Structure 1
Amino acid sequence: MTPRVRDLAQAALAEADLGSPPERTKTRLLELLKRHGPQTAQDLAARLRVTSPAARRHLTDLQAQGLVQVQVEKPGGRGRPQHVFGLTEHAEERTFPKTYASLCLDVLESVSDLYGRDAVDEVLRARSDRLEALLRDLLPPEMPLEEKLRRLIGPLTELGFAPHLEQEGGQWSLVQCNCPNLQVARQFKVMCSAEMAMYTKLLGVPVTREEHMACGQPSCRYRLG
């Protein structure tokens, strides 16, 4: 039996003995990295009570999924370099969700209770105005629509809207497959109307919403022109 085959066999036996499905082991591994910070494969194997080859195999899978990253470090700045594994930002967002949306809703509801619903609408419109001001230099009025749209994709991607463009019969559509503000948008509709008004001003053409995630549809689709 070659060393590679032996390592794989040991890894499989370790998991079988523990009665732990591979996905559950990966979840436990991510939880350990969250709780204890970056660690070596040997440290993780000891905590999981599996062999080092089994831990490395799971870490390789998690790296391929973009959930784990590796750095080469020297213990105490000296000695033999070792591979230290830690969570990526993607893993933090996907596996350990934050409660930012709930906090935002709580704040806006408190503003509404104290100062009325009009005050909330004013706050959300002001937020949209600030974003419009940031994008204005990127999308000057004289720029052709297609170029404006292609320039807009980058900032919208960074903001988490997962956008793409579609064209049919010479007419463009901007499609947003994700809404990072969905919980807020469902409760405060002015956020969506302010977004559509912003696109109308930035792109310089009529904008029609054909799909709306806040109403349960799969995307926010804007027909332009």
Structure 2
Amino acid sequence: MVDKIKSRQHEILTLLLENKAGLSIDEIATALDISRNAVQQHFATLQKNGYIQTGGFHKTSGRPVRSFILTEAGINSFPKQYAWFSELLLTNLKEEMGAEALQRYLHKLGANLSQSLLPQFVGKQADEKLDGLLKIMDQLGFQAKAIKDPDSNGQVIEACNCVYHDLAQKHEEVCEFDRTLISSLLESEIEHVECMAKGGAVCRFKIINRGEHHD
């Protein structure tokens, strides 16, 4: 994200965003009025983080010089309005479908995603499935871990962030996607015992073992 990128490096990324064909080290040094060595140092960091890559050669009055271009990660480092657009979609879907139908739709989305991921879980033990689920949640942007439930001594998945927090506050049906994905991949019932969108400190999903009774 841009706020994690130093201001000078952000200026370099902006120049490359405005010049899709690429720019050379000298062109960027001139545009920003900094030394060639300084540009090279910033380039080293930006390349290491995957934001830029080498492009083609620029023809000049002298010998051709190497240009540098943005990668997809570099382009995506600039702010996007996904949350705004998602809220617009959900608001309109709820108006057209109703809250219950929207929740069923999100359940279907979670189920469809889980079906594409299930081959990774075939033949795995319960603990291995849980580890696999936590890795997937991490890839989706959650900061999740498994803890022991002090009451039942069973497993609880605890996430200290919610990737749809703003959306879920306005459209609680969004949580059905998470509940469906988790229960489908673990092949177990789960209980959403705490939710940040409803004022909780974290999101907790209690894994219900066979034979365990819950309200």
**TM-score normalised per structure 2:** 0.71
Partner of 1:44: 28
Distance 1:165 1:81 in 2: 56
2:111 matches 1:129:
yes
Per-residue CA distance 1:11-62 (angstroms, 9 max, x = gap): xxxxxxxxxxx94322222211222133221111111122211222222333
Distance 1:72 1:32 in 2: 15
Q: Point out where structure 1 has 5 or more consecutive residues left out of the alignment.
A: 1-21
Contact 1:209 1:222 in 2 (8 A): yes
**175-184 or 101-110, which deviates more:** 175-184
Partner of 1:84: 67
- Residue 46 to residue 73, structure 1, CA distance change in 2 (3 Å): same
Contact 1:59 1:68 in 2 (8 A): no
Q: 1:214 aligns with which of 184, 197, 200?
A: 197
Equivalent residue pairs, number: 199
Higher RCO structure (Cα 8 Å, ≥6 apart):
2
Task: Give 1:130-209 correspondences, 5 Å limit.
Answer: 130-140=112-122, 143-166=124-147, 171-209=154-192
Contact 2:192 2:205 in 1 (8 A): yes
Per-residue CA distance 1:179-201 (angstroms, 9 max, x = gap): 33333222221221342244234
Distance 2:116 2:74 in 1: 29
- SS of aligned partner of 1:104: helix
Distance 2:202 2:195 in 1: 6
- SS of aligned partner of 2:162: coil
2:83 matches 1:101:
yes
Contact 2:133 2:185 in 1 (8 A): no
Task: Give 1:19-98 correspondences, 5 Å limit.
Answer: 23-37=6-20, 38-64=22-48, 66=49, 68-71=51-54, 73-75=56-58, 82-93=65-76, 95-98=77-80
Q: State the one-letter code of the partner of 1:102.
A: W
Partner of 1:120: 102
Partner of 2:211: none
User: Which one has a larger percent helix, Structure 1 or Structure 2?
Assistant: 1
Q: Point out where structure 2 has 5 or more consecutive residues left out of the alignment.
A: 209-215
Distance 1:219 1:41 in 2: 46
Distance 1:136 1:154 in 2: 14
The 4+ residue runs of structure 1 with deviation greater than 6 A are none
Identity of aligned residues (%): 24
**125-134 or 214-223, which deviates more:** 214-223
**44-53 or 152-161, which deviates more:** 152-161
- Residue 92 to residue 164, structure 1, CA distance change in 2 (3 Å): farther
- Using the TM superposition, give the Cα deviation of residue 131 of structure 1 relative to its aligned residue in structure 2, in angstroms: 1.7
